[in-house]
Structure 1
Amino acid sequence: MKIVTQVKLVPEADQAAALRSTLRTVNDLANWVSDVAFVNDVPREYDLRRHTYAHLKSEGLGAQAAQHVIKKVRDAYTTLHANLRAGNLGKPGSKRRRKAESKPITFRPEAAQPYDDRCLSWQYDTQTVSIWTTAGRIKNVRFACSADAFKVLQHYRKGESDLIERDGIFYLTATCEIPEAETYEPDRFIGVDLGIVNIATTSTGYQAEGRGLNRYRKRQLALRSKLQKKRTKSAKRRLKERSRREQRHVKNTNHIIAKTIVTEAERTSAGICLEQLKGIRQRVRLRKPQRVALHSWAFAQLGDFIVYKAKRAGVPLVFVDPSYTSQTCAECGHVDKRNRVDQRLFICRKCGVVAHADRNASHNIATRGETVWNAGRESRVPATP
């Protein structure tokens, strides 16, 4: 299982200047390579290298750095073409699609630059790195991270690392290959119902309310709007300082929720059943005031956190179709859209059971999870007579 571990670099003033200059140079050259790829419609990395490698070397890039710049550009175009084929950028002829197809891909001055082990080495005993720059290789660049992240780096780091500058601070994101724990046989399944009012509700009674997070987001939205209207230098500085603060808050909240769910499942030898919510933004139609809440909530992020934490702990995990789970009675199985009286209340029209709507849905998800798990274990080979 691959995960990404991030560390913060703590360079001296001259080291920071060299790192900043390196990122500006490689991204400027990446923009030039992107122009060449767009104009010549170069389909393969080998052909793109033939057009650009000599020029990159003449601009002072090392052999490996030049290769990484070319590969970064080629990967960006591969992703763009995949999104176009999948229709993620709109239908043919749409404004968004024409805009994406009509100009070359551009890279920000502080965009990430990949490094392999020939351009970057880690010294764990002194907690420093040695890294290639356009001013030469600089050594003894200190880095800081948590104790857990440091342990993961020491034992499981494998592959490339990316150098990133964010708000004047440099980070290294390293790919780590962590072995998955052996999955145990679950005694039961915990169904997890995801939502906006209640971020997550489990069939065992755990409920992560979204009221506080929604209030926080509303305050942040109002503050951003107020600062944007001022258009002063101080307002722009405040906006820049507050950038990504909401993302960090939401990410931390999702980490806490995911850890709570996985820990409970591991403690009780249970499996976890999640809803398959892919494409929910395209499927659900909402009124305009509700769209902001739906499109700003990180459905996929919380699911991804639960998945990777479950794999590390060896907790069995299945995905099920969430259709009609909020309209189905968990006691008798009766399906009726009138069963869902409002956002919180569920009353079955057949058996009369009264329950919390999200709790009822989580029980249905757990039941479907057990069915999927058992079906996957059944042999499809006919028994020998």
Structure 2
Amino acid sequence: MKLVVQVKLLPTPVQAAALEATLHACNEAGSWVSEVAFERGEFKNFALRRHTYDHVKSCWGLGAQAAQHVIKKTCDAYNTLRANLRAGNLGRPDSKRYRWATGKPIAFHPRSAQPYDDRMLSWQIPDRTVSIWTTGGRAKKVAFIASVEQLAALVLYRKGESDLLERDGMWFLSATCEVPEAELNADPVGFLGIDLGIANIATTSDGEIMAGRELNRFRDRERELRTKLQRKNTPSAKRRLKKRRRKEMRRAKDINHKIAKHVVAEAERTGRGIALEDLRGIRDRVRLRKPQRATHASWSFAQLGSFIAYKARKTGVPVVYVDPAYTSRTCAECGYIDKANRVSQARFVCRNCGFVDHADRNGSRNIRARAWELWRRGAQSVAPAPPRKPRRGTGRKRSITPSDARCASPSL
């Protein structure tokens, strides 16, 4: 399976200036290549090279490998757009969003990531430095920092391209690693049911509750602070907003990683599989009052599910997805279904047999039972690959990263 190891570069001011100039040149060239592809209706790599390769090298001073990667990045962006159009992610063909997406060529942001292969980038893992190509020459001994686990993955499994990107003044390299998957446990002794929620991020059928109160309070504070800073609208307020814009996302991601690691380790230790709810489309199905919408929109259940899925694939733990309908209203003891069983957010009392339990734990037990029934009937499913969803661009300028696309020719 493919995993991405991201390390932080520590370039000197001279090296950082060279890296920034390189990104700007590559993305400016990519936008020009995109215009040529849009005008000619040519979106295949080798065919597009005939029209753009020489000009990209001469005009922007790119090397042979860099020019080829710029052209390939453009073709990949149009391929991503084509997939989004076919999947309906940009609406119907007669919608305004669809017409906007197909009416202009793709434009790359000046700081969009640029792919590097082993001819343009070499790793010196023991010294924790890299030698990287720039438009001003080779930048040698560019220091980077990484954890012990990241270094081990780079040494053992790094394969393919690495992406150079800049974010908030910091430089990163994202290296692709081919990590072998463990043999799937085809005979689990049971399943560990996981109930995902807002008040409690994850509740297991063993009764363990990973509460989300601290994260929710943090989100509320951040939301209030953003509102105050936006109303103030001074230069210092804007700088503070920019500095804190990703803080909540990083906090939630870190918590989700820790929860997923703990859940998968517990399932592997006990020889069980993992049972998750299939929550696709839940945002469209659930209707909430206005004060609840912000909290529900920031609920990162899909991210937590994807983290559990890929960590399970690494360890060979099977994952089964079940229908979440009525799991919160069904008694885990007698199977009686009634809306009144859910007395409150945290309390479950069966109207039929009198069984009392924590509401989320009762739901996780129902999820576990459904997963075990599916597995016994042979309808098992292993953990899928992490979904690759296109990200939305930010800022006023329409822009994309190498894996994102926003506009393309109607002939796609």
Q: Please tell me the TM-score bracket, short chain as reference.
A: over 0.9
Match of residue 22 from structure 1: 22
Match of residue 159 from structure 1: 160
Q: Which amino acid aligns with 1:182?
A: E
Q: Which amino acid aligns with 1:370?
A: W
Deviation string 1:22-58 (CA, Å, 9 cap, x unpaired) is 0011011111112222233224223322221121111
Q: Which amino acid aligns with 1:214?
A: N
Q: Distance in 2 between matches of 1:226 and 1:37?
A: 45
Match of residue 130 from structure 1: 131
Match of residue 171 from structure 1: 172
Larger displacement relative to structure 2 (58-67 or 87-96):
87-96
Please give the residue correspondences for 1:60-209 in structure 2 after superposition, counting only pairs within 5 Å.
60-184=61-185, 185-209=187-211
Find the residue that maps to 1:319 and give its secondary structure: strand
Q: Distance in 1 between matches of 2:180 and 2:217?
A: 39
Larger displacement relative to structure 2 (247-256 or 10-19):
10-19
Q: Distance in 2 between matches of 1:203 and 1:226?
A: 41
Find the residue that maps to 2:376 and give its secondary structure: helix
Deviation, structure 1 residue 335: 2.3
Task: Say whether residues 1:46 and 2:46 are aligned partners.
Answer: yes
Q: Distance in 1 between matches of 2:173 and 2:307?
A: 21
Quick one: which of 248, 255, 258 aligns to 2:257? 255
8 Å Cα contact 2:275/2:322 also seen in 1: yes
Match of residue 329 from structure 2: 327
Find the residue that maps to 1:49 and give its secondary structure: helix
Deviation, structure 1 residue 377: 8.0
Match of residue 238 from structure 2: 236
Deviation string 1:51-89 (CA, Å, 9 cap, x unpaired) is 211211112111211111111111111111221222212
Deviation string 1:171-208 (CA, Å, 9 cap, x unpaired) is 00001111112233322211001011111111001111
Find the residue that maps to 1:376 and give its secondary structure: coil
Task: Say whether residues 1:296 and 2:306 are aligned partners.
Answer: no
Match of residue 347 from structure 1: 349
Deviation string 1:197-256 (CA, Å, 9 cap, x unpaired) is 111111001111112111111111111121122222111111121121111101111111
Q: What is the TM-score with the length of structure 1 in the denominator? A: 0.94
Find the residue that maps to 2:377 and give its secondary structure: helix
Q: Distance in 2 between matches of 1:247 and 1:318?
A: 27
Q: Distance in 2 between matches of 1:261 and 1:164?
A: 32
Please, which runs of 5 or more residues in structure 2 have no aligned partner?
381-412
Larger displacement relative to structure 2 (75-84 or 285-294):
285-294
Q: Distance in 1 between matches of 2:327 and 2:379?
A: 24
Find the residue that maps to 1:329 and give its secondary structure: coil
Task: Say whether residues 1:309 and 2:304 are aligned partners.
Answer: no
Q: Distance in 1 between matches of 2:288 and 2:133?
A: 51
Match of residue 34 from structure 2: 34
Deviation string 1:138-161 (CA, Å, 9 cap, x unpaired) is 221111111111111111111110
Q: Distance in 2 between matches of 1:291 and 1:91?
A: 26
8 Å Cα contact 2:43/2:78 also seen in 1: no
Deviation, structure 1 residue 319: 1.6
Larger displacement relative to structure 2 (105-114 or 176-185):
176-185
Q: Distance in 1 between matches of 2:231 and 2:174?
A: 36
Deviation string 1:115-151 (CA, Å, 9 cap, x unpaired) is 1111111111221111111112222111111111111
Match of residue 276 from structure 1: 278
Name the % identity. 62
Deviation, structure 1 residue 351: 2.2
Please, which runs of 5 or more residues in structure 1 have no aligned partner?
379-385
8 Å Cα contact 2:48/2:71 also seen in 1: yes
Q: Which amino acid aligns with 2:319?
A: L
Find the residue that maps to 1:315 and give its secondary structure: coil
Q: Distance in 2 between matches of 1:20 and 1:43?
A: 28
Please give the residue correspondences for 1:357-376 in structure 2 after superposition, counting only pairs within 5 Å.
357-376=359-378
